[in-house]
């Protein structure tokens, strides 16, 4: 019988449910169980593809082309598995399916109602995602008390009634604020969240207490009494990123295990360990990320929107993760400076102090000229450069303009440009905007003798994609004559997948997003080699 662990969040959003879920998954994997994870997003969008990353964080791309909330990325990184798009459930998908079924006549004669049809469809999807796995983690996005959460909590309760309380467990991740004027950790918001969860018929089996510092005994006692739980079910989860911490989320499973969380969870679900966990490689990776002796400094040139007093670095989460994996494998810490491309346009930033420059993916014309200047600087000054997706398209534009002397641009930026070096190819035009890009894993053939072939140590590689535009095949020859090597192409030779400049310390760009296939102990080869070049630099 498959076991289900539901993870909900109390008090505030952004409390770290995703990392907690991923960490729990990793722990149970270490005990020998086959694990998968499902993310529920209670919004009406069918997927995250049309949402603004600066508001919602990065859009994660699955191997099968799903555009998903970034939490799925953490699940993949912690669990080292590929998770399909069906593991993301949104309110939009549920209603779309029900309405399509109703129109088809599947419910002929029936009234289609919120109860039972909505929770039934949610349960059907959760079970389908969990098919064949021993344990399924289900993270319900948002915060307890949100109106949007209700159908999902109802479905969780209903699944519990259906398969029995021994097969379902509930974890609430909560936050304990320390108001500045009191300097004391407060438990009241957590108490209220427990109350709200109970109003939905769900009693938490474990409370994970996030906070700036660890939970002390008196507060633990308060929560324990309020929640009617045994004290070992209240688990402290202090911040792991920031000054005075390990400064990496990968320490979380190790911290949980200090509290024997894995054993407690297995006990609750009537399971016993299938193997002895081995955390040695994981601990070494954590040690290197937080304490490797040397540091490389990377400029990540992006388009950053201020959100009030905050800036959301989450829009490039997987790039930062892949850099830290590449750093750990090279035994260096990676410091990322988030450079606003607008500041480069006005020459406010000096890029010469960096060991390497990255231009990541992006959309639209905002800030592109600054990114192009950064690429020109890296090319001319022999600074290691990695271009990802838009970063490759802009590198090609830079090369076309400054080496091939073409008045070139992408039609995404200027539809009337004389040389449409980045163009929309037939078949990609005139469609809806949701879910219609080139999405998911695609194979590239690597050029024999190229640097990229040496990096991947293979002649064919599959990376994930998310883009609408392509390097215009009509210009491949011109670019190659100018000295840009198109070192990876789609099988039919039409699409440029990798470009490189021979003789440069490291000048590689790809139409793909290799950051989506990088794991803490198994970095993406291209990120690993980029960091290696940055160290030499």
The interface mask with ligand GLN, positions 467-506, x = CB under 6 A, is xxx-------------------------------------
CA distances from residue 261 to 127, 250, 339 in whole angstroms, order as listed: 25, 16, 40
In the complex with ligand GLN, the residue whose CB is nearer, 21 or 315, is 315
Distance CA 43, CA 47 (A): 9
Least distance (Å) from ligand GLN to the CB of residue 409? 13
In the complex with ligand GLN, the residue whose CB is nearer, 264 or 489, is 489
Q: Is 423 in the site for ligand GLN (CB under 6 A)?
A: no
CA distances from residue 297 to 312, 332, 358, 481 in whole angstroms, order as listed: 20, 10, 11, 33
SS3 content of the chain, % helix, strand, coil (to 5): 40, 25, 35
- φ/ψ of 194, rounded to 5, equals -60, -40
Distance CA 41, CA 520 (A): 26
User: Which candidate, 125, 133, 57, places its Cα nearest to that of 97?
Assistant: 125
- φ/ψ of 347, rounded to 5, equals 55, 35
Place of tokens 């592109």: 368
Least distance (Å) from ligand GLN to the CB of residue 35? 29
In the complex with ligand GLN, the residue whose CB is nearer, 391 or 525, is 391
Q: Which of 466, 489, 517, 532 binds ligand GLN (CB under 6 A)?
A: 466
Q: Is 52 in the site for ligand GLN (CB under 6 A)?
A: no
Please name every residue paired with 438 in a beta bridge, in sequence order, or none if there are none.
467
Clarify whether 46 is annotated catalytic: no
In the complex with ligand GLN, the residue whose CB is nearer, 229 or 424, is 424
Would you state the structure tokens that stand for residue 411, as one six-digit string?
């039609």
Would you state the structure tokens that stand for residue 332, as one six-digit string?
């260096």
Q: Is 464 in the site for ligand GLN (CB under 6 A)?
A: no
Q: Is 398 in the site for ligand GLN (CB under 6 A)?
A: no
Clarify whether 389 is annotated catalytic: yes
Please name every residue paired with 467 in a beta bridge, in sequence order, or none if there are none.
438
Q: Is 328 in the site for ligand GLN (CB under 6 A)?
A: no
Q: What phi-psi label fits residue 2: left (phi over 0), alpha (psi between -120 and 50 degrees) or beta?
A: beta
Cβ 240 vs Cβ 197: under 8 Å: no
Q: Is 47 in the site for ligand GLN (CB under 6 A)?
A: no
Q: Is 30 in the site for ligand GLN (CB under 6 A)?
A: no
Q: Which of 412, 463, 515, 529 binds ligand GLN (CB under 6 A)?
A: 412
Would you state the structure tokens that stand for residue 313, as one six-digit string?
């670095």
Given the residues 139, 412, 500, 515, select the one marked as catalytic.
515
Cβ 135 vs Cβ 168: under 8 Å: no
Pick the stretch among 6-14, 103-111, 330-338, 464-472 that binds ligand GLN (CB under 6 A): 464-472
Q: Write out the H or E segment, with its range, that includes residue 121.
A: helix 114-130
Compute the chain's Rg from CA coordinates: 24
In the complex with ligand GLN, the residue whose CB is nearer, 248 or 393, is 393
Q: What phi-psi label fits residue 116: left (phi over 0), alpha (psi between -120 and 50 degrees) or beta?
A: alpha
Least distance (Å) from ligand GLN to the CB of residue 470? 7
The interface mask with ligand GLN, positions 357-396, x = CB under 6 A, is ----xxx-------------------------xx--x---
Would you state the structure tokens that stand for residue 177, as one six-digit string?
């604020």
In the complex with ligand GLN, the residue whose CB is nearer, 64 or 134, is 64
Counts for the chain of helices (H) and strands (E), in that order: 18, 23
Least distance (Å) from ligand GLN to the CB of residue 424? 8
Q: Is 451 in the site for ligand GLN (CB under 6 A)?
A: no
The interface mask with ligand GLN, positions 279-318, x = CB under 6 A, is ----------------------------------------
User: Which candidate, 290, 255, 393, 312, places its Cα nearest to that of 70?
Assistant: 312
Cβ 304 vs Cβ 53: under 8 Å: no
Q: Which residue's beta carbon is nearest to the bound ligand GLN? A: 361
Q: Is 123 in the site for ligand GLN (CB under 6 A)?
A: no
Distance CA 487, CA 524 (A): 18
Pick the stretch among 7-15, 25-33, 90-98, 356-364 that binds ligand GLN (CB under 6 A): 356-364
Least distance (Å) from ligand GLN to the CB of residue 406? 19
Please name every residue paired with 5 in a beta bridge, in sequence order, or none if there are none.
137, 169
User: Which candidate, 437, 422, 509, places its Cα nearest to that of 471?
Assistant: 422
Q: How many CB atoms lie within 10 A of CB 203?
A: 14
Given the residues 325, 412, 513, 529, select the one marked as catalytic.
513
Clarify whether 476 is annotated catalytic: no
Least distance (Å) from ligand GLN to the CB of residue 422? 7
Q: Is 77 in the site for ligand GLN (CB under 6 A)?
A: no
Least distance (Å) from ligand GLN to the CB of residue 389? 3
Q: Is 175 in the site for ligand GLN (CB under 6 A)?
A: no
Cβ 320 vs Cβ 512: under 8 Å: no
C-alpha 176: how far from chain center = 25
Least distance (Å) from ligand GLN to the CB of residue 512? 9
Least distance (Å) from ligand GLN to the CB of residue 341? 13
Q: Is 420 in the site for ligand GLN (CB under 6 A)?
A: no
Given the residues 46, 169, 389, 404, select the one marked as catalytic.
389
User: Which spans of this chain sit near ligand GLN (rule: CB under 6 A)?
Assistant: 361-363, 389-390, 393, 412, 466-469
Catalytic residues: 389, 513, 515
């Amino acid at each position: 019988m498959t076991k289900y662990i539901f993870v909900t969040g109390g008090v505030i959003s952004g409390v770290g449910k995703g990392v907690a879920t991923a960490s729990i998954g990793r722990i149970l994997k270490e005990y020998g169980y086959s694990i998968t994870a499902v993310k529920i997003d209670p919004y009406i969008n069918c997927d995250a593809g049309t949402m603004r990353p600066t508001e919602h964080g990065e859009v994660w791309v699955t191997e099968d082309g799903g555009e998903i909330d970034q939490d799925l990325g953490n699940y993949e990184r912690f669990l080292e598995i590929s998770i399909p798009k069906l593991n993301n459930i949104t309110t939009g998908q549920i209603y779309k399916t029900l309405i399509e079924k109703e129109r088809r006549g599947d419910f002929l004669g029936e009234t289609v109602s919120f109860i039972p049809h909505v929770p039934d469809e949610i349960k059907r999807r959760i079970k389908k995602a969990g098919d064949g796995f021993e344990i399924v983690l289900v993270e319900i996005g948002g915060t307890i008390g949100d109106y949007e959460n209700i159908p999902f909590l109802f479905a969780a309760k209903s699944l519990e009634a259906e398969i029995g309380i021994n097969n379902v467990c509930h974890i609430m991740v909560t936050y304990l604020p320390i108001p500045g004027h009191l300097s004391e950790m407060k438990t009241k918001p957590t108490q209220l969240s427990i109350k709200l969860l109970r109003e939905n018929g769900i009693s938490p089996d474990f409370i994970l207490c996030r906070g700036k510092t660890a939970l002390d005994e008196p507060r633990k006692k308060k929560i324990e009494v309020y929640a009617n739980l045994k004290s070992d079910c209240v688990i402290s989860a202090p911040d792991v990123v920031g000054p005075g911490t390990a400064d990496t989320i990968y320490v979380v499973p190790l911290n949980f295990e200090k509290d024997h969380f894995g054993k407690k969870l297995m006990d609750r679900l009537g399971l016993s360990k299938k193997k002895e966990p081995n955390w040695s490689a994981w601990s070494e990776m954590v040690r290197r990320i937080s304490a490797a002796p040397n540091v490389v400094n990377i400029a990540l040139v992006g388009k950053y929107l201020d959100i009030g007093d905050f800036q959301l670095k989450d829009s490039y989460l997987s790039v930062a993760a892949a850099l830290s994996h590449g750093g750990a494998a090279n035994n260096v810490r990676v410091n990322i400076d988030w450079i606003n491309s607008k500041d480069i346009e006005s020459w406010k930033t000096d890029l010469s102090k960096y060991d390497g420059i990255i231009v990541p993916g992006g959309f639209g014309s905002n800030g592109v000229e600054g990114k192009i200047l950064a690429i020109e600087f890296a090319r001319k000054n022999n600074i290691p450069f990695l271009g990802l997706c838009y970063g490759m398209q802009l590198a090609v534009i830079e090369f076309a303009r400054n080496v091939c002397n073409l008045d070139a641009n992408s039609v995404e930026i200027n539809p009337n440009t004389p040389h449409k070096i980045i163009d929309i190819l037939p078949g990609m035009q005139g469609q809806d905007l949701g879910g219609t890009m080139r999405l998911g894993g695609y194979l590239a053939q690597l050029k024999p003798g190229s640097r990229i072939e040496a990096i991947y140590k293979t002649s064919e590689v599959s990376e994930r994609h998310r883009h609408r535009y392509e390097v215009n095949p009509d210009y491949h020859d011109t670019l190659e004559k100018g000295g840009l090597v198109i070192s990876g192409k789609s099988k039919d030779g039409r699409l440029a997948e990798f470009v490189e400049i021979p003789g440069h310390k490291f000048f590689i760009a790809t139409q793909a997003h290799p950051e989506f296939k990088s794991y803490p102990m198994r970095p993406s080869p291209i990120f690993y080699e980029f960091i290696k070049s940055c160290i030499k630099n």
